[in-house]
């Protein structure tokens, strides 16, 4: 095991653990904090994989913006606390489904990529920018329209009044 | 191959080139009546009459082409193309076409003249004539179409017209209900029919009927496809020709004006189904043999159950309606006998058209006079209405198979062919049905025209516009049978309409005697029971069997839940049908000794019916339950189903791979 | 050097945990968080493949950036709907939102 | 370092016009008084018409831009014309509905146009990323406008369900896309097809990935078992939005599916056709059976549209025979989508008209419609008959082409054809049940006040359905040119 792998495994275990706690926590605010941990660990793995720009974006957008948004809405909706308040009646079947998916994916991955190795090569941020503006301009423009639509639509729905 | 003779298409059209005009005339008259009818004297009715009269003359000219043994001819124009598929507008005229042209125009002409008197003063008189014209034109289009697409257009238009005509007096809810019932029921048959056409088009790459027949004759198509095609086509025939289990619409179609009933029952609509089987006969003959057996089973079942139902009706039109169902089943059974029965079945279609039109118009004349459909309010009409009486009597005798009237020849031919082809079950049922037919017609005649008048007012003979067509049709009912009077070696009809070599059976006096004796026995029983009017129908002594008939084998109830209400009942209805099919066989063969069986029937009835109803209820609960379970309103349960579906699909595919 | 299956197992784990959360949590905001886990699993995949393939145009990483952006938009929309429901119904428990059924 | 790239502005002109209109609508809305907010609709209409005109100039063209990521070919043009036509109809039927209630009208039209922008780009996308973004562009505004009856809890719920299932299936689809990227090393469809034909296409992983992508599109087209959201969402959403979802959104999903399956995943068709076999059979059967239970018309149409999606999915199960078979299957599916669009839009137009009078829109609300509003009743009758596949209507030909393709393909295709026949028979029941109400049931006698715009749209759609039914020669013209089968 290389040092990179060791770091990755540590990040992965923490991230997964936090994820599991997120879906089992009995307090919504705790769950949100677990989400922060989990997402940060994912960001960390990007760093290990030498995708720095994606890692920064991950931390900025997810940890910085999305989680805050989620926390705000938790406050707004006065989230209750306790297992019965947070979980529904289908935990058993849900766990089965999740395990089934995990088993299936694990089998597929093992089958297809058993011997694949990543040799992380630092990606210069500039290259990402070039790629976006050279190869993916059109999706980029479309995403801007999407964000505008989401923004305006969300405001319209969330505001209290009617016209 | 058997089909080879059919596909010989002669290039010389000769007089048959007129045939398409016969079709176009009523269509033109439809438009003329719709556009100008209201402004014309007589509501435009004469346009329709002139058009169809001219059509009749031309049809006779076309028929003359075949008297000398003319060959089939074809004319066509391209309609449109889709890819390699070419669809045409065209005509294919052979003996069968020519005969049908004559039948349709004759009956339509009689009906239209008759309606001058019958529909006088109707609020939608002009509209009525327009639709009758369109109806006639559609049927003619079905008859001459040289390709399935064109045939389908006529077929569908006919459905629409029948819907409009049955619901002509739509102000009464019952009538509009009947119209929609007819429409939906035939539609259920039409969908398989549609796909049957698809199958044939796909299998042969053409919609052209002679080409399809040729391709089948050439053995170009797999038997499996043919079997599928034949079954699907027959589905259409079952719906249109009111065969079991889709026969329920026809008796209700009585809601329309009587001339419409005559038209529907004699020459159009129901005839189209039988005609279709005849036209596409090579598909049936070359399909798996069990297809014809299936056709025979449907025919035999239908003829018996419908005849039994006709026995107990009080409404005179309903007697005739069930009789039509039963007689159509004769034709279907005739066709199911293979090439040998082909001529016999279609000959019955031909003769039946005349006497059934006669009977309907006659009943209309009676109804016109007494203002009731119920035979319990008639009686003794032979004196005030002599013309109606005699013509009706001739029609009844023809239907009962009394020689030398038309029905005798055609019916006898089917019965003896069945025996000759060793279809003994069909033969037996056909004989029994013949007896029952004679019985119920005797009953109808006795209740209507003999004894004392039981209705209101003073009935008078109808005007000449009504009796005129009756006399003409009565005359035809007497003579048309001689077109194929094998006893005298006249085989004109089988020279026109035959499949393959067209060999015909020699006349067998033994069989003829059996069927005549059977008919006379039926009449005798009828006379015994109904010579004197009784308040209580003597058949009521049958007890539960009578109830079963009265409730139409509970089929309508089944349909109400099974078809007319949600579809999921249908499975249980199917169970019911099959159960009752067996049950009916037992009950009705021994109907005259029903007392002994009544207990059995009661037990079976209770068990079968109760169980059927319970099953139906259970099924609704079941599907309703499924719906409630899967569409629970809980989005997370949806998500679970989504993932479970994904996983199951993935497992299924990986097992297969 | 990192073995690819390790990375992919991590992502598969995140994805499965996310699925569990979506199915088993009744609080709408927690469901949204679980969906974020699933989307992050996708991103881990994309970045890993991008590095594995040494993609010259970095399609994988760019794709991941787009997914992050779209996820942000989706969260915004989702929260707006949740707040709307909370305002009308005083609950954000998904299994209680079942007026429409059958 | 950044190479300048020549953009073919003519090729993206329709999208540019729609984008411009989107911005114009939202800006103008700010300056409009409360009584004039509805002006957003005419503005949108003009923009859409302009985009339609721009699209028409592209007929017959084959253009590529953005490095082949965005393609204009007859297929794309055909779908764009369809989407823009749909947009015009949806705009037309929205006007009264949103003007007469308390809605944020400007924002509604803004979101609606955004969704249509996504459907336009989907038809031209030849790249996984583009497909994903376009699909989101169709979905995200959809989530929002489904919940647009803000004070109605049912509408909120409709939006929530749509959103949750939508995001969930999007996540599954993205996971599949990431795996495809990993296996093939590209997001370009042509590159993917090339790679899948080689060693990358071996093993179960690519197949699983394709399946996951199908899930995402299966949601969009409401195939069983991804259909659950549809009935609830259609019922709760504003009726014009339901029309949008059942036609434009579904057609966008199918356009994407056609592009993906035929251009990207074609080499593995042997493995994915069974998936479509199951999806198609299950979708049409379950959709139809559940439709029978419905008394609420929008819900009924939702189940009906699920069943119809089953028919559209059928040709996908036929891929992999000869090139001729593939072409026939492609054309059959495409034609069905387009024809379905016309007849279903027509049906929804009538429902919108009824909804002004009876917001619940039960089947019994159609009672006596033939006397209250003859044009609408006849139109609805034609649409129902056409949905049932009865000639001489366009719907008949739609089924005809699918049936032909299935029978010609043979094998399992024949089974699917048989299932389709049975289902068509079942579907007639509930379609004709509405017809029966309209023409035979006793209803209220007062005439139904229907805006001329709605009546006109319904009449137009009716004419289209009948003309296409009587003159199907039109169908022979464009499918061969618009095929994506090489």
Residue D237 predicted with pLDDT over 70: yes
Contacts of C97 in chain B (CB under 8 A): 635
Task: Give dist(CA B259, CA D35) in Å, integer.
Answer: 61
- Give A41→chain C minimum CA distance, Å: 11
pLDDT at A148 exceeding the cut of 90: yes
- Taking all residues of chain A, what is their mean pLDDT, rounded to a whole number? 89
- In this prediction, residue B539 has a pLDDT band, given cuts at 50, 70 and 90, of low
| Of the candidate ranges B376-380, D39-43, D173-177, the one whose mean pLDDT is the lowest | B376-380
D203 Rama sector, left if φ>0, alpha if ψ -120 to 50, beta otherwise: left
Given this model, what pLDDT does residue B552 score?
Answer: 64
Instruction: Note the pTM of the prediction, 2 decimals.
Output: 0.74
Give the residue with greater pLDDT, B40 vs D215.
Answer: D215
- Distance of alpha carbon D68 from its chain centroid, rounded? 25
The predicted pLDDT at position B93 comes to: 84
Residues of chain C with C-beta less than 8 angstroms from the C-beta of A95: 20, 24
Question: By mean pLDDT, which of B253-257, B407-411, D341-345 is the weakest?
Answer: B253-257
The pLDDT value given to residue B612: 41
- Domain contains A52: yes
Q: How far is CA B252 from the centre of its chain?
A: 13
Q: Over 70: is that where the pLDDT of B80 sits?
A: no
pLDDT of residue D404: 82
What is the three-class DSSP state of C2?
strand
Question: Is A94 among the domain residues?
Answer: no
The verdict on whether omega for the bond into residue D392 sits within 30 degrees of 0, i.e. cis, is yes
**Strands lying side by side in the sheet with B9-10:** B9-10, B72-82, B85-93
Q: Tell me, what's the pLDDT at A95?
A: 93
**Does the pLDDT value for residue B10 go beyond 50?**
no
The number of distinct structural domains making up chain A is 1
| D441 or D398, greater pLDDT | D398
pLDDT grade for B595, boundaries at 50, 70 and 90: very low
* B643 to chain A, closest Cα gap in Å: 7
Find out whether B462 and B117 touch, Cβ atoms under 8 Å. Answer: yes
Question: Does B636 contact C95 at a Cβ distance shorter than 8 Å?
Answer: yes
How confident is the model over B191-214, as a mean pLDDT?
A: 82
Average pLDDT over residues B268-283: 86
| Binding-face residues of D in 173-202 toward C, CB within 8 A | 174-175, 177-179, 181-182, 185-187
pLDDT at residue B84, as a whole number: 65
Q: Which chains touch C (3 or more CB pairs under 8 A)?
A: A, B, D
Most confident of A9-13, B189-193, D385-389: A9-13
The CATH number that applies at residue A61 is: 1.20.120.1200
Give the C-alpha separation, D118 to D141, whole Å: 10
In a domain, A42, yes or no: yes
Contact B647 A100 (CB under 8 A): yes
Asked if the model's pLDDT at residue B593 lies above 70, the reply is no
Asked if residue B566 has pLDDT above 60, the reply is no
Rounded CA separation B360/B466 (Å): 12
CB contact under 8 A, B640 and A88: no
CA distance linking residue D75 with residue D73, whole number of Å: 5
pLDDT exceeds 80 at position B472: yes
Q: Which of B158-162, B561-565, D173-177, D456-460 has the lowest mean pLDDT?
A: B561-565
Give the pLDDT confidence score for residue D392 in this predicted structure.
77
**Considering only CB atoms, which chain B residues are within 8 Å of D228?**
630-631, 635, 638, 641-642
Per-residue model confidence as pLDDT tens digits over B423-446: 888 888 888 888 888 888 888 888
Residue A79, domain extent: 3-89+124-158
pLDDT value, residue B549: 65
Cβ-based contacts of B563 with chain D (< 8 Å): 429
Does the pLDDT value for residue B587 go beyond 60?
no
Nearest residue on chain B to C24, alpha-carbon basis = B636
Provide the shortest C-alpha distance from residue D51 to chain A (in Å). 17
Give the residue-averaged pLDDT of B17-36.
83
Compute the Cα dihedral for C59, C61, C64, C65 and give only its sign: negative
Each domain of chain C, given as residue ranges in start order, spans 4-92
Nearest beta carbon to residue D187 from set C35, C38, C63: C63
Q: Taking residues B377-402, what's their average pLDDT?
A: 85
Min Cα–Cα distance to chain C from A138, Å: 12
Q: Where are the domains of chain D?
A: 290-486
Confidence of residue D50 (pLDDT cuts 50, 70, 90): very high
- Among B612-616, D159-163, D371-375, which stretch is predicted with the lowest mean pLDDT? B612-616
Average pLDDT over residues D109-117: 96
pLDDT in tens, B83-137: 666 777 888 888 888 888 888 999 888 888 888 888 887 777 888 888 888 889 9
Q: Of the segments A120-124, B28-32, B214-218, D338-342, which one has the largest average pLDDT value?
A: D338-342
- Which run of H or of E encompasses B72? strand B72-82
* % of chain A beyond a pLDDT of 90: 48
Torsion angles phi and psi, residue B10, rounded to 5:
-85, 140
Asked if the Cβ–Cβ distance from C95 to B631 is below 8 Å, we say no
pLDDT attached to residue D449? 83
Q: Is the pLDDT of residue B601 over 60?
A: no
Q: Which residues of A touch B641 (CB under 8 A)?
A: none
pLDDT attached to residue D48: 96
- The secondary structure of B168-228, three-state, reads CCCCCHHHHHHHHHHHHHHHHHHHHHHHHHHHHHHHHCCCEHHHHHHHHHCCCCCHHHHHH
CA-nearest of D267, D334, D438, D323 to D76 is D334
Residue D407's pLDDT is what? 81
Tell me, yes or no, if B642 comes closer than 8 A to chain C by beta carbon. Answer: no
- Rounded mean pLDDT of A133-149? 92
Inform me whether the pLDDT recorded for D79 exceeds 60. yes
The mean pLDDT of B382-387, rounded to a whole number, is 84
ipTM of the shown complex: 0.92
Nearest alpha-carbon partner for B127 in B171, B157, B162, B164: B164
Of residues B162 and A79, more confidently modeled? B162
Tell me the CATH architecture of domain C4-92.
Orthogonal Bundle (1.10)
| Region A26-49 average pLDDT | 91
pLDDT for the residue C33: 92
Query: What average pLDDT does this structure show over D100-118?
Result: 93
CA–CA dist B142, B157 (Å, integer): 10
* C6 → closest Cβ in A8, A35, A143: A8
B590 pLDDT band, cuts 50/70/90, is: very low
Which mean pLDDT values do the consecutive 10-residue runs of chain C (102 residues) have?
92 95 91 94 95 90 94 93 89 86 78
Residues 125-144 of A with CB under 8 A from C: 127-128, 131-132, 134-136, 139-140, 143
């Amino acid at each position: 095991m290389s040092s990179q792998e060791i770091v990755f495994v540590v990040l992965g275990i923490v991230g997964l653990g936090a994820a599991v706690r997120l879906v089992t926590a009995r307090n919504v605010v705790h769950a949100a904090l677990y989400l922060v941990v989990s997402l940060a660990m994912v960001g960390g793995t990007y760093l290990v994989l030498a995708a720095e720009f994606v890692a920064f974006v991950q931390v900025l957008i997810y940890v910085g913006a999305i989680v805050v948004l989620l926390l705000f809405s938790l406050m707004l909706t006065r989230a209750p606390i306790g297992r019965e308040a947070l979980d529904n009646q289908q935990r058993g079947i849900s766990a089965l489904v999740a395990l089934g998916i995990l088993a299936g994916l694990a089998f597929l991955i093992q089958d297809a990529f058993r011997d694949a190795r990543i040799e992380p090569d630092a990606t210069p941020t500039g290259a990402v920018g070039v790629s976006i503006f050279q190869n993916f301009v059109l999706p980029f423009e479309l995403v801007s329209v999407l964000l505008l639509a989401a923004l305006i639509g969300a405001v319209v729905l969330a505001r209290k009044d009617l016209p | 191959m058997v089909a080879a003779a059919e596909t010989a298409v002669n290039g010389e059209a000769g007089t048959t080139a007129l045939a398409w005009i016969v079709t176009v005339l009523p269509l033109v008259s439809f438009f003329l009546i719709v556009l100008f009818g209201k402004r014309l004297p007589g509501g435009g009715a004469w346009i329709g009459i002139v058009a169809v009269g001219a059509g009749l003359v031309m049809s006779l000219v076309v028929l003359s082409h075949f008297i000398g043994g003319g060959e089939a001819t074809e004319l066509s124009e391209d309609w449109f193309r889709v890819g390699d598929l070419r669809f045409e507008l065209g005509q294919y005229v052979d003996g069968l076409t020519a005969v049908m042209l004559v039948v349709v125009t004759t009956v339509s002409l009689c009906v239209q003249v008759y309606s001058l008197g019958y529909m006088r003063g109707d609020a939608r008189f002009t509209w009525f004539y327009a639709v009758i014209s369109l109806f006639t034109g559609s049927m003619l289009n079905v008859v001459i179409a040289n390709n399935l697409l064109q045939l389908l257009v006529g077929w569908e238009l006919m459905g629409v017209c029948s819907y409009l005509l049955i619901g002509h007096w739509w102000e009464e809810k019952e009538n509009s209900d009947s119209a929609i019932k007819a429409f939906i029921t035939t539609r259920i048959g039409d969908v398989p029919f549609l796909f049957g056409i698809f199958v044939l088009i796909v299998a042969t790459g053409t919609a052209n009927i002679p080409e399809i027949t040729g391709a089948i004759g050439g053995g170009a198509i797999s038997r499996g496809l043919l079997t599928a095609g034949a079954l699907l086509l027959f589905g259409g025939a079952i719906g249109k020709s009111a065969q079991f289990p889709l026969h329920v619409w026809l008796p209700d179609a009585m809601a329309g004006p009587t001339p419409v009933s005559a038209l529907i029952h004699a020459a159009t609509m129901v005839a189209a189904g039988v005609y279709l089987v005849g036209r596409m006969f090579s598909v049936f003959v070359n399909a798996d043999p069990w297809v014809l057996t299936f056709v025979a089973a449907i025919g035999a079942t239908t003829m018996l159950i419908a005849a039994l139902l006709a026995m107990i009706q009080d409404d005179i039109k309903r007697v005739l309606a069930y009789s039509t169902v039963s007689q159509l089943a004769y034709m279907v059974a005739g066709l199911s006998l293979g090439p040998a029965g082909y001529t016999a079945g279609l000959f019955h279609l031909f003769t039946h058209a005349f006497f059934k039109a006669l009977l309907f118009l006659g009943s209309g004349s009676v109804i016109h006079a007494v203002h009731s459909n119920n035979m319990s309010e008639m009686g003794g009409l032979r004196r005030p209405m002599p013309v109606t009486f005699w013509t009706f009597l001739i029609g009844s005798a023809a239907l009962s198979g009394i020689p030398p009237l038309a029905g005798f020849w055609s019916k006898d031919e089917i019965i003896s062919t069945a025996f000759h082809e060793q279809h003994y079950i069909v033969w037996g049922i056909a004989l029994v049905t013949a007896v029952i037919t004679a019985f119920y017609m005797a009953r109808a005649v006795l209740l209507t025209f003999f004894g004392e008048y039981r209705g209101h007012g003073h009935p008078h003979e109808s005007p000449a516009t009504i009796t005129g067509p009756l006399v003409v049709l009565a005359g035809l009912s007497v003579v048309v049978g001689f077109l194929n009077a094998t006893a005298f070696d006249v085989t004109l009809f089988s020279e026109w309409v035959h499949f393959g070599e067209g060999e015909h059976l020699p006349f067998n006096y033994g069989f003829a005697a059996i069927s005549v004796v059977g008919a006379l026995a039926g009449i005798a029983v009828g006379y015994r029971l109904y010579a004197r009017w009784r308040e209580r129908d003597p058949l009521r002594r049958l007890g539960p069997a009578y109830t079963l008939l009265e409730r139409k084998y509970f089929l309508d109830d089944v349909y109400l839940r099974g078809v007319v209400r949600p579809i999921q009942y249908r499975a249980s209805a199917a169970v019911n049908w099959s159960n009752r099919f067996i049950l009916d066989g037992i009950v009705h063969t021994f109907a005259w000794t029903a007392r002994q069986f009544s207990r059995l029937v009661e037990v079976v009835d209770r068990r079968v019916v109760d169980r059927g109803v319970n099953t139906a209820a259970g099924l609704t609960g079941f599907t309703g339950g499924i719906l409630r379970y899967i569409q629970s309103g809980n989005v997370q349960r949806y998500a679970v189903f989504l993932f479970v579906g994904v996983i199951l699909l993935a497992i299924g595919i990986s097992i297969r791979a | 050097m990192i073995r690819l299956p390790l990375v992919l197992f991590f992502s598969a784990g995140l994805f499965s945990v996310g699925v569990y959360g979506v199915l088993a949590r009744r609080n709408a905001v927690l469901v949204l968080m679980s969906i974020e886990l699933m989307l992050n699993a996708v991103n881990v995949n994309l970045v890993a493949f991008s590095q594995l393939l040494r993609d010259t145009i970095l399609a994988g990483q760019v794709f991941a950036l787009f997914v992050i952006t779209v996820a942000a938009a989706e969260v915004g929309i989702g929260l707006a709907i949740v707040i709307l429901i909370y305002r009308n119904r005083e609950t954000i428990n998904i299994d209680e939102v079942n007026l429409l059924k059958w | 370092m950044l190479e300048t790239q020549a953009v073919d502005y003519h090729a993206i002109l329709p999208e540019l016009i729609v984008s411009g209109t989107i911005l114009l609508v939202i800006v103008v809305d700010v300056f409009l008084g409360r009584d004039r907010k509805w002006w957003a609709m005419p503005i949108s209409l003009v923009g859409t018409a302009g985009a339609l005109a721009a699209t028409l100039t592209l007929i017959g063209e084959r253009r590529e831009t953005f490095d082949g990521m965005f393609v204009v070919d007859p297929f794309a043009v055909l779908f764009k014309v369809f989407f823009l036509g749909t947009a015009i109809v949806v705009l037309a039927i929205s006007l009264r509905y949103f003007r007469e209630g308390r809605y944020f009208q400007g924002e509604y039209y803004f979101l609606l146009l955004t969704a249509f922008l996504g459907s336009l780009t989907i038809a031209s996308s030849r790249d996984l990323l583009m497909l994903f973004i376009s699909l989101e562009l169709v979905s995200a505004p959809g989530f929002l406008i489904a919940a647009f009856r803000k004070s109605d809890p049912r509408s909120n719920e409709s939006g929530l369900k749509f959103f949750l299932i939508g995001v969930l299936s999007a996540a599954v689809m993205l996971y599949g896309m990431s795996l495809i990227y990993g296996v093939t090393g590209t997001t370009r469809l042509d590159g993917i097809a090339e790679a899948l034909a080689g060693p990358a296409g071996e093993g179960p992983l690519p197949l699983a990935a394709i399946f996951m992508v199908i899930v995402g599109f299966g949601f969009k087209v409401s195939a069983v078992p991804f259909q659950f959201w549809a009935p609830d969402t259609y019922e709760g959403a504003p009726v014009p939005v339901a029309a949008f979802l059942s036609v434009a959104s579904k057609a966008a999903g199918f356009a994407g599916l056609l592009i993906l399956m035929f251009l990207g995943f074609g080499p593995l068709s042997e493995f994915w056709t069974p998936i479509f076999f199951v999806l198609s059979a299950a979708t049409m059967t379950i959709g139809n059976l559940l439709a029978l239970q419905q008394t609420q018309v929008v819900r009924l149409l939702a189940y009906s549209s699920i069943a119809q999606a089953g028919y559209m999915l059928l040709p996908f199960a036929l891929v992999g025979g000869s090139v001729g078979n593939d072409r026939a299957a492609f054309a059959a599916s495409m034609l069905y989508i387009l024809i379905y669009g016309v007849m279903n839009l027509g049906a929804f137009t009538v429902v919108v008209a009824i909804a002004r009078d009876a917001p619940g829109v039960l089947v019994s609300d159609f009672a006596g419609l033939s006397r209250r509003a003859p044009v609408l009743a006849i139109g609805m009758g034609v649409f129902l008959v056409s949905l049932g596949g009865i000639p001489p209507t366009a719907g008949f030909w739609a089924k005809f082409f699918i049936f032909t393709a299935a029978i010609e393909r043979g094998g399992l295709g024949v089974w699917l054809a048989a299932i389709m026949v049975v289902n068509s028979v079942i579907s007639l029941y509930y379609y004709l049940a509405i017809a029966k109400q309209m023409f035979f049931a006793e209803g209220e006698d007062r005439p139904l006040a229907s805006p001329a715009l709605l009546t006109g749209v319904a009449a137009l759609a009716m004419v289209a359905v009948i003309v296409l039914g009587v003159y199907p020669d039109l169908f022979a013209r464009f499918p061969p040119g618009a095929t994506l089968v090489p």
